[in-house]
Amino acid sequence: MPGIAGQELLDDDLFLEALLDLETRLRNFNSVALYTREEHKRDVYNIKNDTWKKVKYFEKHGNSSAGLICKCNNGEWLLLELNPKGFLWIHKGKFDSKRINGVVDRIHISETHRHDVPIDFIRRLIGEQKDRCYEKASLFNFSEFATTMFKQILKRHQHEENQKLNATRSASKLLQAEKDKKEGKEQIIVQKPMRGKCAKDVRKMPLHQKMRENEMLGGSPNRN
């Protein structure tokens, strides 16, 4: 069976029209779920941390596939999947009665990303896969279409979170620096006049008063 080119989905005018309409009206999907068919799990041991974790994988020679369900808060959703029969996409409008379980069977929700994802970002991810050729038991199995996009969605979100964290840290450092600078200036302003006044007063004191002040401070009087 010949492979399926990633360009095929971009050649679907009806799909592009539906995607651009969503982008114009809503701008963002509010959540994206990755669903799979024939996904497997195995336990992997990390000898360095002495821990076990479950790893998801697809059999290279199996009939596995994966898709994305992109949902909007107004009830609309867009489903994308690549399987051995080709690309499948379904758009449920705001007033449609379609149900995901009614149009897609035997799927397993593997992961869900419950954060806004710009629709133009989804469109760009689809465009980046146009040069790929998907085929069973190849480098790009059918499941790679959706799993690659989902990984990029998670990566984008993590990048945004890191930027927010760095901005917060920078703002905290600036505030602390301003606080330290202000406290330092206030201390100097308080201390400098005191030192200057004492020095000025001592210079103007008569000799017998200087000796008395010296004795009060614990010094030995100079009798000469």
Residue 179 within a domain: no
pLDDT in tens, 151-183: 999 999 999 999 999 999 988 888 888 888 877
pLDDT in tens, 28-63: 999 999 998 876 676 777 888 888 877 665 566 667
Place of tokens 């006049």: 193
Residue 157 within a domain: yes
Radius of gyration for the chain, computed over Cα atoms and rounded to the nearest angstrom: 35
DSSP state of 195: H
- For 161, half-sphere exposure in the C-beta direction (CA atoms, 13 angstrom radius) is 8
Residue 94 within a domain: yes
Residue 41 within a domain: yes
Nearest of 27, 29, 28, 8 to residue 126 by alpha carbon: 8
Full-prediction pTM beyond 0.75? no
Phi, psi of 18 (to 5 degrees): -65, -40
Contact 6, 129 (CB under 8 A): yes
Helix (H, G, I), strand (E, B) or coil at 142: coil
pLDDT computed for residue 55 by the predictor:
67
Count how many domains the chain has: 1
Domain containing residue 151: 4-164
In the predicted structure, residue 188 carries a pLDDT above the cut 70: no
Residue 32 within a domain: yes
Which two structure tokens, joined as six digits, stand for 124?
Answer: 């760009």
Q: Strand 86-92 and strand 77-83: pairing? A: antiparallel
Residue 205 within a domain: no
Phi, psi of 85 (to 5 degrees): -85, -10
Residue 23 within a domain: yes
Place of tokens 């539906």: 18
